[in-house]
Amino acid sequence: MRHSEHAPLPRRPARRSPASRSTAHAVRSGRHRQPGEPSVTWRDVFAVSEFRALWSAQALSLAGDQFAQLAIAFMVYTRTGSAFLTALAYALSYLPPAIGGPMLSGLADLFPRHRLMITLDLIRAGLVAMMALPGMPFPGLCTLFFATMLLGTPFCVARSALLPEVLPRNMLPAGSAIGYQTAQLGQVAGFLVGGGLVAWAGADRVIALDSLSFSLSALILACWVRPRAAPSRAAPPRWAGPAPQPVEIIWAGLCTVFGRPVLRTLMLFGWLAGFAVVPEGLAVPYAHTLGGGPLATGLLLAAMPAGLVLGAFLLGRVIRPADRLRPMGWLAMLSCAPLIFSLLRPPLPAAALLWGVAGLGSAYQLAAAAAFVRALLASRKMHTFAVAQCGMLAAQGLGIVTAGALAGRIGPQPAVAVAGLLGLVAAGLLATDWPGRHAELITLLGAAAADSTRAEPASPAAAGLAANPTTGLAANPTTGLAANPTTGLTAGPAAGLAANPTAGPAVHSHGKPGREPQPGNCRGTAPPSPG
């Protein structure tokens, strides 16, 4: 530089546009977006009027069902004083999807999905209104509740399949994230608010509110979601020759899963939810022994999903993708160990804290379900997914019923402690076997990755991958696999398989079948993917 020249003055950095700032934020947060793909915010998604209608229907249905689930359990216990019958009524939210869900889910491919959702909402509104009738006998109450939960499965499937027709492809992951946040926060808030409503208005009126929520959901769908034709049936048949019977599919799935140790271990990790879910089914008699009523019950029921939300956040944001499967055995034991302290009869705040810690440990289910799906994809044995799904729902329902029978003899707190102890022993056995199975899983996935590189790779955009703004994961809106964020697995035809391009696929979340997306509901989200 000559002395007559001046050094260039430093420039102030140009002010970045909102789009560039959001893109930079996505890069910093590790979210995956294709080059040149515009940023999608929740405001963009809510700008779609039909999505607003679907979301409003989801929120109404979710809130009403959380209220009703607590109210029904409280009503049964108030009338009968039986922990077993209360647990039996609560277990009916898990068993219908396992028994009839796979058969009814095909309705979404036979009828116009918009019309099907409205029809199912109106039928469920009538069923729930009958449940609210004074003096409804216990067998009639259980039958109506079972039918309501059963019809929730095709409703959730239809909604999941309708979502890709409502939102553009690049907005689907954000739409799934909104559904996830609504479901998770709605579950926690629903139990807390529901406990207050039952204490204030009574169980019968709260159940009537659930009927009203279904009616309003049907009205919203009818007024603000555009009718569409029935799905095309021109797709080629999935099976060459006669279609196999459900029993044959289940038997083939059992042979596949139990014939491969890594699949068996992952599936059994998921089935541990049969122990961890016991406190939910005994929440009403448990709170009663502490001198509490509906408010105490709502607090206890909200503690576990609140812990799960925190655990999912830590698993997805704090632990590196490559390390998310390593602590799975310890987390599985943590999901059961705090329940053992129920034997000490802790006061309500301490009990809620213990249940919340158990919920935090249950976040391992997200990693277990995702790893199971990855192993199935690598083994090309996705038909076995239904076995794990139905087995998990059955384990939860049977676990609650068995614990209810035990609570009738020794009390709810000792019954919860026994479930925690048995779950801890089972989790410990699986944890000791997990290091070897983890290495086997890595080998299996590595071989599958090597095979896929020999073929022409499909671009992530073609596979439908885009970042989930909540978890940083990508979602495939067409695979139809789902996982319950509270307990594990469920399925929906277009709900999406979440995938992290660097860590592999993870399962899309769902929820209880009467709600929008829990066991048995269709909570839509993408939980953190494992490494």
Second CATH level (architecture) for the domain 42-228+245-451+466-509:
Up-down Bundle (1.20)
Evaluate the CA torsion angle 66, 72, 75, 77 in order and state its sign: negative
- How many Cβ atoms are within 10 Å of 204's Cβ, its own excluded? 16
pLDDT of residue 452: 57
| Range with the largest mean pLDDT of 99-103, 326-330, 415-419, 454-458 | 415-419
Statement: residue 516 has pLDDT above 50? no
148-151, Cβ contacts within 8 angstroms, sequence gap of 24 or more: 148/124, 148/514, 149/92, 149/93, 149/96, 149/97, 149/512, 149/513, 149/514, 149/520, 150/96, 150/97, 150/99, 150/100, 150/101, 150/104, 150/513, 151/104, 151/120, 151/123, 151/124, 151/127, 151/513
pLDDT of residue 103: 73
- Overall average pLDDT of the 314-334 stretch: 88
pLDDT of residue 221: 95
* Lowest-confidence region among 138-147, 315-324, 400-409: 315-324
Statement: residue 57 has pLDDT above 80? yes
- Overall average pLDDT of the 40-54 stretch: 92
Query: Tens digits of per-residue pLDDT, 438-455?
Result: 888 888 777 766 665 654
Statement: residue 503 has pLDDT above 60? no
Q: Please tell me the pTM assigned to this model.
A: 0.76
Query: Tens digits of per-residue pLDDT, 111-168?
Result: 899 999 999 999 999 999 999 998 899 899 999 999 998 888 888 888 888 999 999 9
Query: Tens digits of per-residue pLDDT, 387-396?
Result: 787 888 889 9
At 421, is the pLDDT very low, low, confident or very high (cuts 50, 70, 90)? very high
Q: Which residue has the higher pLDDT, 153 or 507?
A: 153
At 383, is the pLDDT very low, low, confident or very high (cuts 50, 70, 90)? low
Q: Which residue has the higher pLDDT, 16 or 508?
A: 16
Statement: residue 381 has pLDDT above 90? no
